[in-house]
Amino acid sequence: MPIKKTEDVRKDRTTSKPRKTVKPTSEEKELPVLDTKAPFPIVGIGALAGGLEAFEQFFTHTPPDTGMAFVLIQHLDPKHKSILTELVRRYTKMSVYEVKDGMRVEPNTVYVIPPNRNMALLHGILHLLEQSEIPGVRTPIDFFFRSLAEDRKEEAICIVLSGTGTEGAMGVRAVKGEGGMVMVQDPESAKYDGMPRSAIATGLVDYILPTEKMADQLIRYVHHSLDDVSEKTTAAVNKKSGLIHKIFIHVRSKTGQDFSYYMQNTILGHIESAFREGRLTHGFLTRRQPSPGTSGEFTRKRWACLLVP
C-alpha cells in the first residue's frame, strides 16, 4: 500500500505546543504490493531424452497468444552453453528467455531453465538454486513440479514429455495432490517412453495426447469456466459431503478400492475434471444413490466418482 502523506497537525496535551506528524521524504519509496497469485496459467513442461523433438512439435502447434506462460525443465549439460532457448525460438512467436534468478513470469512467454540449476516458483517469480552434488539425485523436473504445485495449488498445470527413467512421476503426484491438472505425451508418439509411462502409472494423469494435440486441449481446459466449475463443485461437495462418502462406499463395493483416505484436493481435482469433460454432472451429486446402470465402470486409474461411459 502506498504511504500516505499527511498534513495533520496535533497539539501535545502536556506542552500545548503544536507538533506535526512526520512526513515521508521524496527519496522514500512506496511499499511494494506483493502479487501472490499470477492472474494467468503457468504451465510446467518436463522432458529428457527426445525432448527437443517434443518441444518442437508442441510449440509448432501452440498459438502465441494463449495467455499462458510456459516453463521448460530439462537436464542440460552443465559444461556447455545451452542452445535450448535458441531452438525453441525457431518454433514459436512467443518471447523465449533463459531464466535468470528473480525473473517474474509473464503471459505468452516461454522460460527455459539454465544448466546445472534447480528452479522454483514463488509468488509468480522464478528462483534458481544450486543442484545437489550427489550423483543420481538431480531431479529438476520433480523439483519444479513440486514448487509449481505449492505455489499455484489447484491451478497448477504440468506436462510430461519424452524421456527415459521415472523423473516427473513424483512431481505429478504433487500437482494432483493440490488438485491441479496433468497432461502426458502419448508413449506411442514419444521418442523415449520411460517418463510418460511412469507418469501414467501413477493413475493421476488427466490427458494422454500426442504433442501436436496438447495445445488445443490446454486452451479448452483453461477457458472452460474454471472458476465457475470450481465454485459449483466445491459448493456441491460441501453441501453433499455425506453423499460423497456414500459414493466411496459404492465404489468400494464395486471395485474393492477405498478412496476415502485420499487427499480431499486430489479427489476434488478429479471430480472437477469429470465435470469439465462431461463424464459427471452436478445432478449426479444430488441423487440419493448412483442409479443402477448409469454409474459406469469405476477403475483404479480414474479414481472415485469419475464415471466412464
Q: What is the pLDDT of residue 39?
A: 75
Q: Which cell goes with 298? A: 469405476
pLDDT per residue as tens, the chain (309 positions): 444 444 443 444 444 444 444 444 444 334 333 344 557 899 999 999 999 999 999 999 999 999 999 999 998 766 667 789 999 999 999 999 999 999 999 999 999 999 888 999 999 999 999 876 544 457 899 999 999 999 998 889 999 999 999 999 999 999 999 889 999 999 999 999 999 999 999 999 999 999 999 999 999 998 874 555 455 555 555 554 565 666 667 667 667 777 666 665 666 666 666 666 665 555 554 444 444 443 333 344 444 444 333
Distances (CA, A) of 235 to 238, 241, 259, 278, 286: 5, 10, 20, 18, 12
Domains of the chain by start residue, with CATH: 42-222 (3.40.50.180), 226-286 (no CATH)
Give residue 261's identity as a one-letter amino acid code.
Y
Distances (CA, A) of 250 to 181, 233, 243, 272: 26, 20, 10, 19
CA–CA distance, 121 with 129 (Å, rounded to integer): 11
Read off the pTM.
Answer: 0.66
Q: What is the pLDDT of residue 130?
A: 85
